């Protein structure tokens, strides 16, 4: 039995606990009834991913989060526009095969990863930018470096360990 003290393998945002857990049929049972009780098609995820966002939708081919570490195959590119808003684009790794890229793009599209990360990261990044620009404060990473972090590390920085500005006075 999978531990419930984990982060959702689809979005990598929501911590899973018994109140917000959901079991998804990655390949929807309406389209793939033969896989409806196949263990590898049953994935413990957050309710937002399964019940609000995905439902019975699927795009194929798609990455399976238990077989492929999705976040290893792309990088978030964070851009700041003229309105001081952050937008996110995806850069797939140059070594990826065409098939992997299709799987990754479908995964990102299905789980609305870009919209969700833009929404969740904007406030954090604006706070972070303010901290970077405030005199007498130093932070342990520069904003520019964030754009090159793999998504799992970026998330750890932004959500799980939070920024830890150190004060120079
Ligand atoms: Zn999720």
Q: From first to last of the 169 residues of the chain, give the pLDDT tens digit.
A: 455 568 899 998 888 888 788 999 999 999 999 999 999 999 999 999 999 999 899 999 999 998 988 989 998 888 877 777 788 889 999 999 999 999 999 999 999 999 998 887 777 777 777 766 665 544 444 455 555 556 666 666 655 444 444 333 3
Rounded distance from Cα 165 to ligand 1 centre (Å)? 28
Same domain, residue pair 133 and 95:
yes
Same domain, residue pair 79 and 160:
yes
Rounded distance from Cα 43 to ligand 1 centre (Å)? 11
- Domain-embedded: residue 42: yes
- Domain-embedded: residue 147: yes
Rounded distance from Cα 10 to ligand 1 centre (Å)? 5
Same domain, residue pair 96 and 126:
yes
- Domain-embedded: residue 60: no
Rounded distance from Cα 9 to ligand 1 centre (Å)? 7
- Domain-embedded: residue 61: no
Same domain, residue pair 86 and 142:
yes
112-121: Cβ within 8 A, 24+ apart: 112/53, 113/11, 114/88, 114/89, 114/90, 116/11, 116/13, 117/13, 117/76, 117/88, 117/151, 118/86, 118/87, 118/88, 120/13, 120/158, 120/159, 121/78, 121/86, 121/88, 121/158
Rounded distance from Cα 105 to ligand 1 centre (Å)? 17
Rounded distance from Cα 63 to ligand 1 centre (Å)? 15
Total domain count for the chain?
2
Same domain, residue pair 87 and 159:
yes
- Residue 27 sits in which domain range? 6-54
Same domain, residue pair 155 and 96:
yes
């Amino acid at each position: 039995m999978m531990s419930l003290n984990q982060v959702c393998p689809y979005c990598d945002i929501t911590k899973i606990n018994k109140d917000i857990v959901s079991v998804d049929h990655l390949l929807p049972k309406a389209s793939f009834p033969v896989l409806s009780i196949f263990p590898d098609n049953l994935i413990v995820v957050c309710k937002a991913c399964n019940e609000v966002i995905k439902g019975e939708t699927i795009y194929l081919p798609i990455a399976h989060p238990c077989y492929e570490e999705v976040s290893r195959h792309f990088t978030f590119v964070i851009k700041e526009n003229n309105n001081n808003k952050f937008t996110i684009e995806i850069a797939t790794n140059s070594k990826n095969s065409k098939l992997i890229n299709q799987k990754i793009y479908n995964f990102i599209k299905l789980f609305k990863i870009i919209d969700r990360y833009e929404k969740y990261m904007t406030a954090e990044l604006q706070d972070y930018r303010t901290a970077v620009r405030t005199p007498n404060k130093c932070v342990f990473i520069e904003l520019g470096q964030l754009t090159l972090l793999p998504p799992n590390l970026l998330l750890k920085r932004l959500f799980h360990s939070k920024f830890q500005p150190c004060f120079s006075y």
